[in-house]
Amino acid sequence: MKERNKIVLQLIFAFQVVYFLSAVVTQSWILFLPVLSLPLFLLFYYVLPAFPYQRVLMYGVLWTYFVSFAILVLTVQMLSAFIFVWFGLLLSALYRDRSAVLFSGAASVIITSLVFAVAAADIFQGGSWSTFLYLQLFNVLLTAFLLVQHRDMQEAFTVLRDHRLKLRYLLDSAQIVTYTYDPARARHDITSGIPELMALPMEKDAVLPWKAYVHEDDQAFVAMIEKEVLEGKLRKVEFRFRLHSRTIWVTANMMPVIEKGRLDRVEAALIDITDRKHAEERMAFMAYHDSLTKIPNRTHFYEYVSSMQSLPSFDPGRAFLLFIDLDSFKQINDRFGHAVGDDLLTYMAERLTSSLKERDMVCRLGGDEFVIFLDKITSEQAAEVGERLKQRLSEPFDMDGKQVIVTPSIGITGFDQDGTVDDMLLEADKAMYEIKRNGKNGMSMYNRSFEKKPSSSADYPIPAREESDILKESRV
């Protein structure tokens, strides 16, 4: 209602100016009477922003208008002045309010009756009852027309509002922000959709109104995209916002609209894809990491070692593989259950990871087998690492109030100039099984003599050992 009052008052001011100029041109000074109401209209406009009763103000504006022109009609007694009364009836339709039209229609009927009673002879050349009825019929029909138009407009606005609400609900549900940027007026017409963004202050003179909140690593990229969009290029990009509570990913579709050879506006949509990005990150992580221990898996290990071998700086004489197998791990599962066995594998992975340098890589091949890649060290240093890992892995584990000791068997091999990852794994595996054959809980460097010996525990008997030698338990 406040906006409608503002529009009507602005139109009345414009009309008063035109009316004043026409009175000056015709030098009809008596026509200045309606202009005397201008101070009252100015008062209405002044109190408009803070006035709490906008409907009362509406009636005040309409009443002032009709009274001023009723006085004019009764004073000058001219038909042309009477026409402005009907103009007031049309003006009331701008309020889109049924009561405003009814009020103005009633005012037109009353003014017509008053004028006909006082000055019918001068204005309507004698005026008969038929003329009076025709005028009142016109008032009623014009009022009825405006009421029907108001009803149709209300129905149209209701449908439009419902569609907007449905669209907003869909956009909010899908976390989509759509907006139009007008570069000439530095204005954004924005819907809701991503609550965190809507709560932030916006930059007016920018294609992206939340440019200040773009992730610092993406700011240069977004600035380049904005420049290209203003040059008329269509762009679809992904970037991040760093908000107070979290970082969100969005995909932005920015479409410049060119009219008459120049940029008229930019239509844009931002879609929150944070959940999708997190899912992609989880999928990428799981593709290259063991689901239980979260350390690199066989695929990751193969790609990493192969990439290291392809480097010009790679020296096969200073690179080694360690193959680690946990001794009697099956007995852990059988005695304590697979859940305890899974916990033990996780602890082993943590111990291995914390015992290595950043450039080294540890991987779980599967089951209780781990493999480690070491680079830029000598064979003596590789043996030292193997011995350190053997001691670290042999430290007791606390399992439900009991200390359990599990020992490793470790095989080590160096790289050949043309050796593949599979070749190195096979050699390290043979060195590891040499330890198994000799009683477990040890470390061995690969040599060619292992080629003539069994390559798996199924090919030779393991010496019988007492369970107490493998699992040593004590109450904590």
Determine the 3-state secondary structure of 449 from DSSP.
helix
Report pLDDT for 200: 76
Whole-prediction pTM value?
Answer: 0.56
The two structure tokens encoding residue 432: 């590891």
**321 close to 415: Cβ distance less than 8 angstroms:** yes
- CB-count exposure of residue 289 (10 Å: 0-12, 13-18, 19+): middle
Report pLDDT for 143: 86
The two structure tokens encoding residue 253: 């579709």
Instruction: Write the DSSP assignment of 153-208 as a string of letters.
Output: HHHHHHHHHHHHHHHHHHHHHHTEEEEEEETTTTEEEE----HHHHTS---SSSSS
Determine the 3-state secondary structure of 444 from DSSP.
strand
H or E element in which residue 189 lies: strand 187-190
Report pLDDT for 474: 35
Give the count of beta carbons closer than 10 Å to the beta carbon of residue 138. 13
Residues of the chain with CATH 3.30.450.20: 175-272
Half-sphere exposure of 359 (CA within 13 A, CB side): 9
CATH superfamily for 175-272 is PAS domain (3.30.450.20)
d(CA 303, CA 104): 83
The two structure tokens encoding residue 117: 């009673």
Residues of the chain with CATH 3.30.70.270: 289-470
Residue with tokens 């009353």: 110
d(CA 377, CA 382): 7
d(CA 162, CA 36): 44
Instruction: Write the DSSP assignment of 219-259 as a string of letters.
Output: HHHHHHHHHHHHTT--EEEEEEEE-SS-EEEEEEEEEEEEE
Q: What is the pLDDT along the chain (476 residues), one digit of tens a residue?
A: 667 667 767 776 676 666 666 666 666 655 555 556 666 666 766 666 666 777 777 777 787 777 777 777 777 666 666 677 777 888 788 777 888 888 888 888 888 888 777 766 666 655 567 777 877 888 888 888 888 888 888 888 888 877 767 766 666 666 788 888 888 888 888 776 677 776 777 777 778 888 888 999 999 999 999 999 999 899 999 999 988 778 889 999 999 999 888 889 898 888 889 889 999 999 989 999 999 999 999 999 999 999 999 999 999 999 999 999 999 888 888 888 888 889 899 999 999 999 988 888 999 998 999 999 999 999 999 999 999 999 999 998 887 777 788 999 999 999 987 788 999 999 999 999 989 888 889 999 988 666 655 554 444 333 334 444 444 443 33
| 432 contact partners, CB below 8 Å, separation of at least 6 | 323, 324, 325, 409, 410, 411, 444
Determine the 3-state secondary structure of 315 from DSSP.
coil
Give the count of beta carbons closer than 10 Å to the beta carbon of residue 119. 18
Radius of gyration (Cα) for the chain, nearest Å?
Answer: 44
- CB-count exposure of residue 410 (10 Å: 0-12, 13-18, 19+): buried
Q: May I ask the CATH class of domain 289-470?
A: alpha beta
